[in-house]
């Protein structure tokens, strides 16, 4: 199975480029390819002739999207649709990475794949509109929503917490937002399994379990054997340009239907810490 990773220099892309049995992986990223340029996509797909394209490239600065709306939509929506049209022309399958931000966070139980989209941020809207457009262009595409991704090879919450904890005696972390931390290595493995199983439609893929950002930070500090105090604060006390979902836990039922189970986020965090320190 030949898989082309578009966005291989990002956090998830870094994990997707690791050797995987039975998978011939190739990667593209800026400046060699810009998904806003359809002719570039045509040229590279003709050159690589992949069985699957994994679209991991996106404008993921959630707060930045609020002040750069044009960029958010031209990359996350229009760029994704360019990839879908090029994939259709090249007779390649497409797996698109989406987000928990397509939901409003007002639910009190895990979100299912068919729950109504109601994004509250520009980033969430750009991804939600991409999902809708992709299913129109390529009804057989696979859309994988994930959340709270972390890993080596890019900026992530654990890395930020560890850097701050190294120089501070106490950290204030939001305790009224809940979600599913997801290790990029585990997500990459699930993605390749989905490609191998010829998956289609919308799926949710996160590590098992849920927590608040505060609880996540506590585990990070404890796992790193640091003495930094982690203090809970409310969302209102930490002003951010983009609204965050209060509850964005994603149900694992859709992934389980393909026989795929992801480890707990606490187990994933310990493996991340070992990898980070190696």
* CA 184 – CA 206 distance, rounded (Å): 9
* CA 262 – CA 100 distance, rounded (Å): 17
Q: How many Cα atoms within 13 Å fall on the side-chain side of residue 266? A: 8
Residue 183 annotated as catalytic: no
Contact 185, 19 (CB under 8 A): no
* CA 140 – CA 51 distance, rounded (Å): 13
% helix, strand, coil for the chain, step of 5: 40, 20, 40
DSSP secondary structure code for residue 204 in this structure: E
Would you say the C-alpha torsion 73, 75, 80, 83 has a positive or negative sign?
positive
Which tokens in the block code for residue 246? Answer: 């209060």
Tell me the three state secondary structure of residue 203: strand
Task: Choose, from 123, 183, 247, 272, the residue flagged as catalytic.
Answer: 123
Q: Find the farthest-apart pair of alpha carbons in the chain and give their distance in angstroms, rounded.
A: 56
* CA 245 – CA 177 distance, rounded (Å): 7
Contact 70, 21 (CB under 8 A): no
Contact 222, 270 (CB under 8 A): no
Helix (H) or strand (E) segment spanning residue 86: helix 80-90
- Catalytic residue numbers read 123
């Amino acid at each position: 199975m030949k898989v082309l990773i578009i966005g291989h220099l990002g956090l998830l892309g870094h994990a997707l480029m690791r050797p995987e049995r039975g998978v011939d992986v190739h990667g593209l990223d800026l400046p060699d390819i810009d998904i806003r340029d359809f002719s570039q996509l045509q040229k590279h797909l003709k050159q690589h002739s992949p069985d699957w394209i994994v679209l991991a490239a996106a404008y993921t600065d959630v707060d930045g999207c609020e002040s750069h709306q044009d960029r958010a939509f031209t990359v996350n929506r229009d760029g994704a649709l360019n990839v879908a049209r090029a994939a259709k022309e090249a007779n390649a399958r497409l797996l698109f990475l989406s987000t928990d931000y397509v939901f409003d966070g007002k639910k009190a139980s895990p979100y299912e794949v068919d729950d109504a989209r109601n994004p509250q941020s520009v980033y969430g809207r750009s991804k939600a509109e991409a999902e809708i457009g992709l299913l129109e262009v390529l009804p057989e595409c696979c859309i994988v929503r994930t959340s709270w991704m972390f890993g080596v090879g890019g900026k992530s919450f654990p890395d930020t917490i560890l850097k701050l904890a190294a120089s501070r005696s106490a950290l204030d972390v939001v305790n009224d937002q809940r979600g599913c931390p997801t290790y990029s290595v585990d997500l990459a493995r699930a993605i390749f399994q989905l490609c191998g199983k010829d998956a289609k439609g919308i799926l949710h893929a996160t590590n098992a379990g849920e927590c608040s950002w505060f609880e996540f930070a506590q585990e990070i500090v404890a796992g790193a054997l640091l003495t930094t105090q982690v203090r809970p604060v409310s969302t209102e006390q930490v002003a951010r340009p983009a609204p965050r979902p209060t509850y964005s836990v994603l149900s694992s039922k859709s992934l389980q239907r393909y026989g795929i189970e992801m480890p707990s986020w606490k187990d994933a965090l310990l493996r991340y810490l070992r990898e980070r320190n190696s």
